[in-house]
Amino acid sequence: MKAQLIKRSIRSTVVMAFGIAAAPACSPCPRPASAKAFRIGTRRFIAAAVVLFWLTAAPFTAGAEESEPTGTLGFVLENDLFYNMDRHYTNGVRLAWVPDPDTAAPGWSVKWARFLPWFPDEGEVHYGYAFGQSMFTPRDITRENPPLRDRPYAGWLYGTIGLGLESGRRLDQFGLALGVVGPASLAEQSQKIVHKVIGSDKPRGWDHQLKNEPGIVITYQRSSRERGTIMFSKYRIDFTPHIGGALGNVFTYGNAGVTLRLGQHLPNDYGPPHIQPGLPGWGDLSPMADFGWYFFAGVDGRVVARNIFLDGNTFSDSRSVDKKPLVGDLQFGLVLDWSDVRLSYTHVQRTREFQTQDSNDDFGSIAVSFKF
């Protein structure tokens, strides 16, 4: 009963708190017919995202009260609408399922965890699955033929299998993502439907998007909290450095950074989940005996060798721009954590990713996780 009340209050809070946007979706685009219409459309957009998540979660919640939790269901929404923009990395959604580590791990996950040379020999094996979509656009979506010097339209539809090994104060994560870039990603249809619902400008340049191409990305990430925990009155501060990289025709890069957490009753996680690339997160929801919260801030720097959304298609001619080899993210936000619910909001500022980009990008990320 307590869990139901918590979930209902969070649902109401999300719809009320994020249904107050009152600015146009993009600065170079014409203003909507009226600010009131835009506000109503924005509320519908946020409400639709929350309802979609709850409909997805409904089959799991039905049996949650009758049995012990079997895993964590997580939903992440990243969008630049929170900062009155509609450009570049403009939207990302991901739905993930991480079975509870107390349940018997399948043989393949244990074998791979022991096989990978950089994974430790001892630790708790985690595995999970995710499905997501990301979309990218130029600065002005109202132009039918965007300038060649601007970022090309592109979409990325993918599924991921993830493997993690947690050994107390260290987490090793391995991921394999398979998907498709191009019209088959359905990014064009997704953006046009959402913009129609919220009353925003119709994107007109998708005829110039990247061509269809199968995509693969192999990722590895190591996060460690073996040192760097500080007690400050009734609060705790910890530091989690990370290092990793990605290899594939979609992304190839090396990255490193650090995350700081400050709060009470810090859960045994490694920050809220994010969509790649970005700060590392933790898909599993660690049980809390009581309500906990923490603020977090982090930086992540990447040396980029390949970004298909800037470099263009690998095996055919397409639009492209000259990328910057060094890209950095600054992220900060708040996590609210209960025994079976986690809610977080993250602000992300990303440095310029290509040579002709005129300014940094800002977008927001909402993540909701439930233990079932």
Q: How far apart are CA 105 and CA 81, in angstroms?
A: 39
Evaluate if residue 115 carries a pLDDT over 80.
no
Q: Is 25 helix (H, G, I), strand (E, B) or coil?
A: coil
Angle (deg, nearest 10), helices 35-62 and 187-198:
120
Q: How far apart are CA 50 and CA 162, in angstroms?
A: 25
Identify which of 138, 150, 27 has the alpha carbon closest to the alpha carbon of residue 87: 138
Q: Which residue has the tokens 């996060």?
A: 223
Query: Taking the model in full, what pTM does it have?
Result: 0.80
Which residue would you say has higher pLDDT here, 108 or 35? Answer: 108
Which residue would you say has higher pLDDT here, 223 or 112? Answer: 223
Q: How many CB atoms lie within 10 A of CB 291?
A: 13
pLDDT at 13: 39
> 178-187, 337-346, 349-358: lowest mean pLDDT where?
337-346
Evaluate if residue 22 carries a pLDDT over 80.
no
Q: How far apart are CA 92 and CA 194, in angstroms?
A: 13
Evaluate if residue 351 carries a pLDDT over 90.
yes
Which residue would you say has higher pLDDT here, 34 or 155? Answer: 155
- Per the structure block, which two tokens stand in for 171? 């987490």
Residues whose CB is less than 8 angstroms from the CB of residue 9 and which lie 6 or more positions away in sequence, other chains included: none
Evaluate if residue 289 carries a pLDDT over 90.
no
Q: Is 9 helix (H, G, I), strand (E, B) or coil?
A: helix
> Domains in the chain, start-ordered, CATH in brackets?
2-371 (2.40.128.140)
- Per the structure block, which two tokens stand in for 256? 């490193």
Q: How many CB atoms lie within 10 A of CB 294?
A: 24
Mean pLDDT of 232-248: 90
Rounded to 5 degrees, φ, ψ at 221 are -145, 135
Q: How far apart are CA 64 and CA 68, in angstroms?
A: 7
Which residues on neighbouring strands pair with residue 360, listed in sequence order? none
Mean pLDDT of 195-221: 93
